[in-house]
Amino acid sequence: MACGEVVVNEFQERKQKEDAMKKAGRLPPGQSLTLKFPVLHYGPIPLYENLDNWTFKIWGEVEEPVEWNWEQFTKLPTRTTTLDLHCVTRWSKFNTEWVGVHVQDLIDEGLIKLKDTAKFCIQHCEYGYTTNTSLDAVLADNFLLGYQYDGKALDPEHGYPVRGLMGAVPGNKVDANRYLWKGGKWIRGLEFTEKDRPGFWENAGYNNVANIWREERYGGFF
């Protein structure tokens, strides 16, 4: 098959799938379907020779801070979740399969206990990067601390060993659906706070809420 035919076939396949997602009401306004998994982030990719010194912390408005090493983290309760991912740069990837830890499960198992004053969650990642969400968003079904994608460990450029994952449950058009940047790559901890605190991209002009259905891309902090 000639190179031109391959390109035409890929375009037709992408367009057919995009039309199907539009018809199903799963493609947010301003988005286009991609068959790839684009890599977008600010700064270098951290490379780990091993995870002997890796830890994940939870602190802030909790009854008691906790910290897990990699072995302990991978023994926490897990969920297998299918999510549609929507990037603020206007690509959407559908039916992605993930395994990871859900904050609500940690609460249900008594592994963490939030104070009544916990209203927001700040994700802390490598190199000091942060992003923020309301508490209800991080407890929703479309947020995950993901460490396996498509049956495998994450690639370094996609957030190995763990990334915050913010997407949309297929067919579940809820207010908690957020653009993908609201899940931080290379995440190292969650800080629960009483007051909101905009993160890296929010301070750079991105919308503080980032609802995909309302196209909350830029501006509108508070």
Q: Is residue 212 part of a domain?
A: no
Q: Which domain holds residue 29?
A: 3-37+54-203
Amino acid 9: pLDDT: 75
Q: Is residue 210 part of a domain?
A: no
Residue 43 has pLDDT above 90, yes or no: no
Mean pLDDT of all residues in 72-95: 97
Q: Is residue 127 part of a domain?
A: yes
Q: Is residue 48 part of a domain?
A: no
Q: Is residue 150 part of a domain?
A: yes
Number of structural domains found in the chain: 1
Amino acid 222: pLDDT: 43
Q: Is residue 96 part of a domain?
A: yes
Sequence-ordered strand ranges (E) for the chain: 32-33, 55-60, 66-69, 79-86, 91-101, 120-125, 130-134, 143-149, 152-153, 163-166, 187-193
Mean pLDDT of all residues in 188-213: 97
Main-chain phi, psi angles of 23, to 5 degrees: -65, -35
Query: Residue 118's domain is classified under what CATH number?
Result: 3.90.420.10
Whether the Cβ atoms of residue 146 and residue 99 lie closer than 8 Å to each other: yes
Round the average pLDDT of the chain to a whole number and report it: 94
Tell me, yes or no, if the pTM score tops 0.85.
yes
Amino acid 221: pLDDT: 46
Q: How many other CB atoms sit within 10 Å of the CB of residue 199?
A: 22
Whole-number Å distance between alpha carbons of 147 and 164: 9
Amino acid 4: pLDDT: 55
Q: Is residue 213 part of a domain?
A: no
Q: Is residue 44 part of a domain?
A: no
